[in-house]
Amino acid sequence: MKTYLNPSKEKWEQLTKRPELKAQDLNELVASIFQTVEKLGDAGVRGYTTRFDQVEIFDPKVTSQEIDQACDLVPQKLKDAIETAEKNIRRFHTTQAITETTVETQNGVKCWRETRAIEKVGLYIPGGTAPLFSTVLMLGIPAQIAGCDRIVLCTPPSKDGSINPAILFAAQLVGITEIYKVGGVQAIAALAQGTESIPKVDKIFGPGNQYVTAAKSFALTKGVAIDMPAGPSEVLVIADETSDPSFVAADLLSQAEHGADSQVILLSTSEIMLNRVQTEIEVQLASLPRMEIAIDALNNSSFIQLETLQECLELSNKYAPEHLILAFDSAKEFITQITNAGSVFIGKYSCESAGDYASGTNHTLPTNGYARNYSGVSLDSFIKKITFQELSASGIQTLGPAIEIMAEAEQLIAHKNAVSIRLKALANA
C-alpha cells in the first residue's frame, strides 16, 4: 500500500488512477474470437473452450440430470444460506416494479408508458477459482420478475467438464434451466451472434475479467445491448477516528482478493487510523487462501489522509467507486453529499460482503468510473419502456396547428400534411 498525507487536489486524480489495460491487443483477440465463432458456430466455441479451459465439450448444454445431481452435492447449510439471499434479493427487486399513470397533456391528448420485458437475455457467470453462484441470484431474479421469455446462462466448465454445483443449485432455485458450459470471450461471442446450440440474445449481463469485459463491449457492435461497461472490482472506504481498524482492513481485503487488478482505496482524516489499518491488514492477510492475489491488488492501492470528511467525499465523488463504505459513526449525515457511487454501505457494521451476497441489493455494479453515469443492475435493466399516445378528434384539432407550424419551420412538409389532412377531414365533416 502507498500512503499519502494531505496531497493537493491537483494530485488526487493521479493517486486514484485505475490500472491500465492493454486495450489494443485485447480488442484484436476479441474480434478474432467473435469472427471465428460467427463463422464456425459450435465448433468455434468448442475449439476455444479446449484451448482456454483445457476441456473438450461436444454438447455444451447442461442436462436436467446434471442439475439434479449437482443440487444433491450442495451442503444443506449452503442451500439454506442461498435461499435466505434469494428471498431478500427477490423482496428488494420486487419493490422496483412501478405502475405508471396516463397523463392528459391537453384536452384530447393522452400519453402514457407501458413496461415490456426484454425477450431474450444472456447471463454470464464467472467460474474458475471463484465461481460466483451469488451472481446467478443477482441476475436471474430480476430477469424472472421482469418476465423475460428466455433466460440463457453461460458459465465456464472445470477441467472435468462439470459446472460448480452451487451455480447449478442457484440457477435451479430461480428457475433457470437453459445453461451452457461455455466461458470467456467465446461465451459472449456465442450469446451475441448465436450458434447451432446457443441462442442469440437481446442483452448480455454479468461480470468477468478484462477479456469478458472487452467482449461485452464488442457485442455492442453486433447490435446486442449489455448491462454496463465494467472493469476490475473496486472499493473505496472512508474512515475517521471512530472507525474500527479491523473492520476496515477486512473490507479492503475482501475486495483485494477478487483479483490482482482489483483496486482498494482508503481515505481517512486520521493518520493513526491509516497506520492501524495497515497493521490489521498484515495480520489478516496471513490467513487468507488468496493471499498472493490480495497482495498484488494492495500493491496498486492507495491510503490517503485528508483534512476533513467533506474532502474525503469530494475525492470519492471524483473517483466514482463501485463500492463506497462510510465506516464511521456519523456516516448517515453525509449521504446527501454522495453523487457518484455504485453501491453505498453506511456505518461500521455495513460490510460490502452484505451487498455482495444477501442484503437484497444487486452486486452487479458499474466500475472504472462508470458510476458517474450508470446505475447498477436492477429490475429496470431487464425491461424497456414503450410510450403510447392517443389523440381524439378534438385533440388533433387543438394540438394540430402547433404541429403544422413546427413541421413547416423544419421544412418537413410531409409531417405537416399528416396533420393538415386530418384537420381538413374533420372540418369537412
Q: What are phi and psi of 46, to 5 degrees?
A: -60, -40
Q: Name the 3-class secondary structure at 302.
A: strand
Write down the catalytic residue from 322, 352, 363, 404. 322
Quote the CA–CA distance of 385 and 288 in Å, as a whole number: 46
The string of DSSP letters for 161-183 reads S---HHHHHHHHHTT--EEEE--
Of 234, 323, 363, 404, the active-site residue reads 323
C-alpha cell at 428: 369537412
CA 147 to CA 182: how far, in whole Å? 25
Which helix (H) or strand (E) covers residue 2, if one does?
strand 2-5
258 labelled catalytic: no
Rounded to an integer, what distance in angstroms lies between the CA atom of residue 289 and that of residue 334?
36
Question: What is the SS3 assignment for 24?
Answer: helix
Is there a contact between 96 and 378 (Cβ–Cβ < 8 Å)? yes
Cell 428488494, located at residue: 92
Distance between CA atoms of 79 and 37, rounded to whole angstroms?
Answer: 36
**Please, which residues have CB within 8 angstroms of residue 394's CB and are 6 or more apart in sequence?**
107, 108
Nearest-angstrom CA–CA distance, 395 and 384 = 28
d(CA 227, CA 214): 13
How far CA 153 is from CA of 143, 178, 217, in Å, comes to 11, 6, 18
Residue 137 contacts residue 105 (beta carbons within 8 Å): no
323 counts as catalytic? yes
| Integer Cα distance of 160 and 147 in angstroms | 34
Number of H helices, E strands in the chain: 16, 14
Amino acid at 115: T
Known catalytic residues? 322-323
